[in-house]
Amino acid sequence: MAEQVSDRITDGPQPKHQQLRELLIGLVVPGQAIPSERELMLTYGVSRATVRKAIDGLVADGLLQRTHGIGTFAVRPRLETRLHLASFSQDMRRRGLQPSTRLISVTRALPPAEVTDWLGLAPGQKAWRIVRIRLADNTPIAHEDGWYPAHLLPELDQQDLAGGSLYEILGREYGLWVDQAEQTLWGESADAGMAAALAAPLHTPLLVFRRRSIAGGQRIEHVVSRYRGDRYMVHMELSRDDMSPATPTPEGSTL
């Protein structure tokens, strides 16, 4: 039977801030605020310095997160993904989470030059721009800004872009099943606008994915997704390329 942690703080050999740390670990609920410093002082009969030392340690360990003007919250475990070709909805369902989407905008517009080049559009040819917030169990996880060729996807704006997987819509309604993609990853810090969109603190680290997708040989998608780095992490399995030393050539022979 596991040893129970006492709910009292004593003058024993273990420092009081360490005792409070263990109590907080047992009490916190991911995503919820912990009691205020004053409440902890009154509840456990300790000084403000003891409370701050315990909390500072948990923040440093990534178990708590301070949000200025709101409070200190228990951090939700990061969602881990393996790099593979799947929609956000498929990815979340595989984890046993409920995906949902908040549609910010869908417009038919002229894309930037980089997007025009990738999608193979003629100068002046428009594309659908779809901006969405992706959620898992109602928690904002990612901001998506995607472009899709309008001439291949008539009336895409009439589809239920908040109700399910966009990849499923592309396949089911237009016969364009995404079967190939290239993806680039980099890091950013959330500015005020992105932090607000993701309900995240200012300067939250972001994992940024640029995905360029192909369906049946047709370039169909250019999307940049910004994931909260405190909610999401990437797992990669690596294998060694053929980097073994060259086989010695017998003396006098040529290749």
Q: Average model confidence (pLDDT) for the chain?
A: 80
Percent of the chain at pLDDT > 90 equals 35
Which pLDDT band holds residue 236 (cuts at 50, 70, 90)? Answer: low
Instruction: Kindly calculate the radius of gyration of the chain based on its CA atoms and give it in whole angstroms.
Output: 25
In this prediction, residue 83 carries a pLDDT of 42
What confidence category does residue 35 fall into, taking pLDDT thresholds of 50, 70 and 90?
confident
Q: Which comes out higher in pLDDT, residue 237 or 128?
A: 128
pLDDT at 222: 97
- Give mean pLDDT, residues 148-155: 96
Dig out the tokens for 182 from the structure. 């290239």
How far, in Å, CA of 43 to CA of 38, rounded? 9
Say which amino acid occupies 64. L
pLDDT in tens, 48-107: 998 888 888 777 666 777 777 777 877 655 544 444 445 666 666 666 677 788 999 999
pTM: 0.61
Q: Which long-range contacts (CB under 8 A, 24 or more apart) does 185-191 make?
A: 185/209, 185/210, 185/234, 187/229, 188/226, 190/226, 190/228
- pLDDT at residue 16, as a whole number: 85
Identify the burial level of 195 via C-beta atoms within 10 angstroms of its C-beta, where 0-12 means exposed, 13-18 middle and 19 or more buried.
middle
Residue 4: per-residue pLDDT = 37
Looking at residue 254, what is its pLDDT? 37
Q: Which run of H or E residues covers position 42?
A: helix 37-44
